[in-house]
Structure 1
Amino acid sequence: MLLEIDNLKLLYGRIEALHGISLHVEQGEIVALIGANGAGKTTTMKAISGLHAISGGSIKFDGADVSRLRADLRVIRGIGQSPEGRGVFPGMTVLENLEMGAYTRKDKADIAKDLAMVFDLFPRLQERRKQAGGTLSGGEQQMLAVGRALMTRPKLLLLDEPSMGLAPKLIQQIFEIITRINEQGTTILLVEQNAQQALSRAHRGYVLETGRIVKEGTGQELLHDPAVKEAYLGVA
């Protein structure tokens, strides 16, 4: 098991945002985490990546307990994240943004190979490699955020709302690339409000409501679950 979360609790001040959630991700999977705004999806991602301290439970990654490990050390162990809102460095070029993803790495030859891989996945980034990240379109910035996360050479790629704010054509393109990344061997935990796209491509999924896991199953099981269809797919 690559990622195992057990009875995870997290506080924002005195408010408990996660009420003891448990989930797991197997090597090679795409696992989707869906839910409404405020359900705790991004909070869960921040807990996994080490950007927010937990108040209870445990996070095990690749056989080791990383619950108290610093965020930068989690990156070195193999947890890469494309955050909600993209978070590109606006004053840096596309190439410099991608190089920042490889900041903790020393394997220069493999960094060059991974850069070529990112440009193969996102040809637009190669075209824009000398352009400042802040001048890219929303879709291009999303590509850059995913590409930068891939430059960490992650064993687990955390994708937080990769389709947010994108036109339908770009949403389709982003999800096709997510599937391709997974087929190339990267395990993915995906937080996404576009439940249709997420569950269509996920091996398994979890439904999060107000800090609690309320449903889990295969992507197809959740896609055809009447309650999920009504709540998240707009089907009565």
Structure 2
Amino acid sequence: MLLEVEGLCVNYGHIEAIRDISFGVPEGTVTTLIGANGAGKTTTLKTVSGLRKVRAGTIRFEGKDITAMSPYDRVKLGISQSPEGRGCFVGMTVRENLDMGAFLRKDRKTAAYREDIDRVFTLFPRLQEREKQTAGSMSGGEQQMLAIGRALMARPRLVLLDEPSMGLAPKLIQQIFSIITEINEQGTTVLLVEQNAAQALKRSHEAHILETGEIVRSGTGAELAGDDAVKAAYLGGDV
């Protein structure tokens, strides 16, 4: 198991945001967390990446306890995040944003680094077209591509994607999800938080449903997509 979360509890002040959740992310998979707004999905990702303190529980990456580890050190281990809201550096160019994603790397003048830039541009040709354009002048969809590309520049073993389809047009949503599948097929494990449950489950090996800070259902993406109760609650009655 690449990532193991066990008995995780996280508070915002006196409010319990996550209550005793446990799940794993097998290496090589797309694992998805779905649920309504406020269910604790984004908090879970932020806690895995080290941006939220743990009240109780354990997080392990490749068997190593990282519960108290800094976000910086988690990136060094191989965990990278594309945050909700994209978080692009709006005054910087596309290339500068991608370079920021690789801030820990010492190989920026090597062929390996150029190969990773080329990989991002192959996944997202629009970014190559906009390489010298500032992120703030780009569309929401282009910024989402940039946020994912920036996360990949850290060469992560595990990439955390938080609501990658939020605010995008239907055609672009399909494109983003196809690229997520491609990223996974290229060898990167994905932990995905997504409101578009139908698209997410279609591409997930494993999935978990959160309600008010607790995991209430788990299964393969196909199992949850085919469950009548899940369909009614999250998929508009159908996939």
Q: TM-score, normalised by structure 1?
A: 0.99
CA shift for structure 1 position 214: 0.1
2:204 to 184, 187, 202: 202
Q: Give the aligned length.
A: 236
Which consecutive unaligned segments of at least 5 residues does structure 1 have?
none
Letter in 1 for 2:193: V
Could you tell me which residue of structure 2 aligns to residue 164 of structure 1? 166
**Structure 2 residue matching 1:50: 3-state secondary structure:** coil
Structure 1: how far apart are the matches of 2:198 and 2:13? 34
Could you tell me which residue of structure 2 aligns to residue 101 of structure 1? 101
The sequence identity of aligned pairs, in percent, is: 64
Structure 2: how far apart are the matches of 1:50 and 1:43? 10
Pair 1:23 & 2:23 matched: yes
**Structure 2 residue matching 1:87: 3-state secondary structure:** coil
Report the more deviating stretch, 149-158 or 107-116.
107-116
Letter in 1 for 2:49: S
For residues 86-110 of structure 1, the C-alpha deviation after alignment (integer angstroms, 9 at most, x for no partner) is 0000000000000000000112322
**Structure 1 residue matching 2:164: 3-state secondary structure:** coil
Letter in 1 for 2:40: G
Pair 1:154 & 2:156 matched: yes
Which consecutive unaligned segments of at least 5 residues does structure 2 have?
none
CA shift for structure 1 position 63: 1.6
Letter in 1 for 2:25: V
Q: TM-score, normalised by structure 2?
A: 0.98
Query: Is contact 1:30-1:187 (8 Å) kept?
Result: yes
Could you tell me which residue of structure 1 aligns to residue 72 of structure 2? 72
Structure 2: how far apart are the matches of 1:113 and 1:55? 41
Structure 2: how far apart are the matches of 1:213 and 1:22? 8
Structure 1: how far apart are the matches of 2:55 and 2:155? 29
**Structure 1: 4+ residue segments shifted above 3 A:** none
**Structure 2 residue matching 1:81: 3-state secondary structure:** strand
2:115 to 102, 113, 116: 113
Pair 1:83 & 2:73 matched: no
For residues 151-210 of structure 1, the C-alpha deviation after alignment (integer angstroms, 9 at most, x for no partner) is 010000100000000000000000000000000000000000000000000001000000
CA shift for structure 1 position 111: 1.8
CA shift for structure 1 position 226: 1.1
Query: Is contact 1:82-1:146 (8 Å) kept?
Result: yes
For residues 19-49 of structure 1, the C-alpha deviation after alignment (integer angstroms, 9 at most, x for no partner) is 0000100110000100000000000000000
CA shift for structure 1 position 227: 1.1
**Structure 1 residue matching 2:216: 3-state secondary structure:** strand
**Structure 1 residue matching 2:172: 3-state secondary structure:** helix
Structure 2: how far apart are the matches of 1:203 and 1:129? 34
1:223 to 202, 222, 225: 225
**Structure 2 residue matching 1:177: 3-state secondary structure:** helix
2:235 to 215, 233, 236: 233
Structure 1: how far apart are the matches of 2:88 and 2:113? 19
For residues 68-119 of structure 1, the C-alpha deviation after alignment (integer angstroms, 9 at most, x for no partner) is 0000110110001000000000000000000000000112322221111000
Structure 2: how far apart are the matches of 1:125 and 1:233? 32
**Structure 2 residue matching 1:199: 3-state secondary structure:** helix
Query: Is contact 1:102-1:111 (8 Å) kept?
Result: no
